[in-house]
Amino acid sequence: MAVDKNNALEEEIKLELANSQELKDYAEKVKTMDKGELEAELARLDDALEDAEDEMKQMIGQTGVHVYAVQIEASREEFEREKARINEKKRLATEAL
């Protein structure tokens, strides 16, 4: 069941990314950047991904605070979406480089 839910989430995220105006605008933006700007953008995206991962680890690893499974699952889904957006932006920036 968990595998089916993960696969469904992956497919949902792929569809969201394909239809994202934010990513379409971002693709146009990176085409106008020079090499230095693209390298700085890639570093910024790496930091953003690391921050998102740290935030997720902290939320899951909280001790002494009861976090409902539904909250954890919702946070995990949002993290997966954010991670996918960042990775897609990294792909677009790398492609423009």
- Domain of 34 in residue numbering reads as 2-96
- Look up residue 61 and give its two tokens: 């690893």
Amino acid identity, position 83: K
- Look up residue 59 and give its two tokens: 């939320």
Q: What is the pLDDT of residues 50-96, one digit of tens each?
A: 999 998 888 777 766 676 778 888 888 999 999 999 999 999 999 99
Structural domains counted in the chain: 1
Q: What is the pLDDT of residues 11-33, one digit of tens each?
A: 999 999 999 999 999 999 999 99
- pTM score: 0.83
